[in-house]
Structure 1
Amino acid sequence: MDERRAHQRFVCDLRARLLLPDGREIDGQAIDLSISGICVDTHEAVEPRTLVEFRVWAVLADRETAEIVMPGRIVWSTPVEGHVQLGAAFDRDMDNRSWARLDVLLQFLAGTLADSQRL
Structure 2
Amino acid sequence: MFHWRYHGRGTAGLPGVWTGSGGGRVEFRADGRFSMKGIPADSVDFTWSEPRHGATRVSGAGTWRQDEVAEDSLLLMIDVGGSFPTAEEVATLIVAEDGPPQVLFFSTNVDKPYGYEIKKTP
Normalising to structure 2: TM-score of the pair?
0.28
Q: 1 or 2, which has the higher helix percentage?
A: 1
Normalising to structure 1: TM-score of the pair?
0.28
